[in-house]
């Protein structure tokens, strides 16, 4: 399973790239709004630094506006992926962008049927939001299982990005199900790495070495 970082923060992307474990970045309007500054410049920087797909979301809600924004954003860099919420307006846009060779990420996916529509439209990626489903009392991972099964049944090649991840256990579960990608906040990346036994083990090796005969 590939790991993407879910952030618009430059320091976090730089740190994760240094670790060598992320192969893409996902942003959304809320994440971008938190950072300020010139976000187009920053996502272009991410494209060069990460060397993989960087999802940037359109803000228009009508098909013509989405298409125009998508084409402008795609000109920034070949690694730009256009993120569009799954709506009646966006499906045709996703299809059109595929024909133009522009990659898309169908986002705000909350049902298997939405994921089928995204795949039929030709989305490069689909982003089911597990955390937000858990927030309303559903089991987000059940949705990931359903989409994985459906995509396997019909050979859809849209890649599943497990999104809205809130804790490290969800990363393990996404991998066990066979999701293609988990997009994770920087905090979850740190939580994946840390283990008290690793820290204790290092401290003990250091102490034993310092007391060697």
What are the catalytic residues?
A: 83
Among 3, 5, 6, 106, binds ligand E4P (CB under 6 A): 6
Looking at the Cβ atoms of 190 and 211, the one nearer to ligand E4P is 190
Count of residues interacting with ligand E4P (CB under 6 A) = 11
> How far does Cα 189 stand from its chain's mean position?
13
Nearer to ligand E4P, 103 or 132 (CB): 132
Is position 85 an interface residue for ligand E4P (rule: CB under 6 A)? no
Q: Tell me whether residue 189 is exposed, middle or buried, using C-beta atoms within 10 angstroms of its C-beta: 0 to 12, 13 to 18, 19 or more.
A: buried
13 CB-side CA count, 13 A: 26
The distance of closest approach from Cβ of residue 131 to ligand E4P in the complex, given in angstroms and rounded to an integer, is: 5
164 contributes a contact to ligand E4P by CB under 6 A? yes
CA dist., res. 25 & res. 185, Å (int): 10
CA distance 58 to 69: 6
Strands 159-162 and 24-26, sheet pairing: unpaired
In terms of CB distance, is 102 or 130 closer to ligand E4P? 130
**Rounded distance, CA 10 to CA 45, Å?**
9
State which of positions 100-129 bind ligand E4P (CB under 6 A). Answer: 107, 127, 129
Residues lying near ligand E4P in the complex (CB under 6 A): 6, 26, 28, 107, 127, 129, 131-132, 163-164, 183
């Amino acid at each position: 399973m590939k790991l993407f970082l879910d952030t618009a923060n430059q320091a976090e992307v730089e740190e994760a790239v240094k670790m060598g474990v992320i192969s893409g970045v996902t942003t959304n309007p809320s994440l971008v709004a938190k950072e300020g500054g010139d976000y187009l410049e920053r996502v272009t920087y991410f494209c060069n630094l990460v060397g993989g797909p960087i999802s940037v979301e359109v803000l228009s809600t009508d098909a013509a506006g989405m298409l125009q924004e998508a084409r402008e954003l795609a000109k920034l860099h070949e690694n730009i992926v256009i993120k569009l919420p799954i709506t009646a307006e966006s499906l045709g846009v996703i299809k059109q962008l595929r024909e133009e060779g522009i990659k898309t990420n169908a986002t705000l996916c909350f049902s298997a049927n939405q994921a089928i529509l995204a795949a039929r439209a030709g989305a490069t990626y689909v982003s089911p939001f597990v955390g937000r489903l858990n927030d309303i009392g559903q089991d987000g991972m059940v949705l990931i299982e359903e989409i994985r099964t459906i995509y396997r049944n019909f050979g859809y090649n849209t890649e599943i990005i497990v999104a809205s991840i809130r804790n490290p256990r969800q990363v393990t579960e996404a991998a066990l199900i066979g999701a293609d990608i988990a997009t994770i906040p920087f905090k979850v990346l740190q939580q994946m790495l840390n283990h008290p036994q690793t820290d204790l083990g290092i401290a003990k090796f250091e102490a034993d070495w310092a007391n060697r005969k």
